[in-house]
Structure 1
Amino acid sequence: MYLSSLASSAGAATNPCEPEILRAADRYGVPAGILYAVGLTETGNKGSLQPNALNIEGKAVFPRSRTEALAAFANAQREGKTLIDLGCMQ
């Protein structure tokens, strides 16, 4: 399986999304490929999953770090925005 080989590669060590997709696939019986495709659709940027991706009221935001993502989340909340999604499969 393609995703299994991804999770064991060096690249997966830097992307926390892939091991979590495998964990969810195993736990809920959903094929990992489907979850990966959803992740790419929801948070894909430059062909890879983005663990820090946000969707703030329909606008995609791709912070460079977790710290930046959490700051963007907090800022959106302070601005009164309520439709905020954060993470790999947001």
Structure 2
Amino acid sequence: MSGSLEVRQFLLRYEGDAGNASANGGVPAQRSGNADSPRISDDQVRRARLAVAQGATGVDDCAELLEMLGLTPDEEGRLPVQR
């Protein structure tokens, strides 16, 4: 159970950096359907990569997690998470 507590504490610590989530009680606002805007910002990708790297048990684990989450570029150089 301490793992889930650590995850919640991690998310709460970094949620304050966003600044806009606290107005909704910590719940992010619904995304608009605008297809021109990326689903995930570059800053969110950077923060997600850092979070994965912190929680990974090693280099192989980190690489596998990044790929599973769509945080590694595909053959075209685009991130699957931002499609």
- State the structure with more CA Rg: 2
Is the shorter-chain TM-score for this pair beyond 0.5, marking a shared fold?
no
* TM-score normalised by L of structure 1: 0.29
Q: Which has the higher contact order (CA 8 A, sep 6+)?
A: 1
